[in-house]
Amino acid sequence: MNFRLIFQKRSIIFITTTDRKTIGTATAWFGTWETKEIGRLHWVEIIPAYQGKKLGRSLIAKAMSWLADYHESAFLKTQTSSQAAIHIYQKLGWKPAITSQKIDTPGIS
């Protein structure tokens, strides 16, 4: 099965099948980190039937490429229980900035 990456509104990326069924999405935009506005990878989701096919990696890489066009740096948030996602993020070069489960930092949304 072939897949397509498509953009909508320059900040939302979708993965669709060749018959246009949406199977994944990511949102790449901006946010505030330590009082500075930088890029933010906000949302990444692949529907369960298509997980494990390395689609998340392609989706995140495309979002990172878009972020790099507009921002010098970027951040994302995830739960410590999302080990599969954390593994992908680290493989793609993301580094943890906060390692505790409780975040108490004003200004981060």
What is the homologous superfamily of the domain 3-91 according to CATH? Gcn5-related N-acetyltransferase (GNAT) (3.40.630.30)
Q: Please write the tens of the pLDDT for every residue from 79-109.
A: 888 888 889 999 999 988 875 555 554 444 4
What angle (nearest 5°) sits at the alpha carbon of residue 51, between those of residues 45 and 55? 75
In this prediction, residue 27 has a pLDDT band, given cuts at 50, 70 and 90, of: very high
30 neighbors 52 (Cβ within 8 angstroms): no
pLDDT score of 34 = 85
Q: Please write the tens of the pLDDT for every residue from 37-92.
A: 999 998 899 999 999 998 999 999 999 998 998 889 999 988 888 888 889 999 99
pLDDT score of 97 = 82
DSSP per-residue codes, 28-58: EEEEEETTEEEEEEEEEEE-GGGTTSSHHHH
47 neighbors 24 (Cβ within 8 angstroms): yes
Cα 82 to the center of its chain, rounded Å: 13
Whole-model pTM over 0.85:
no
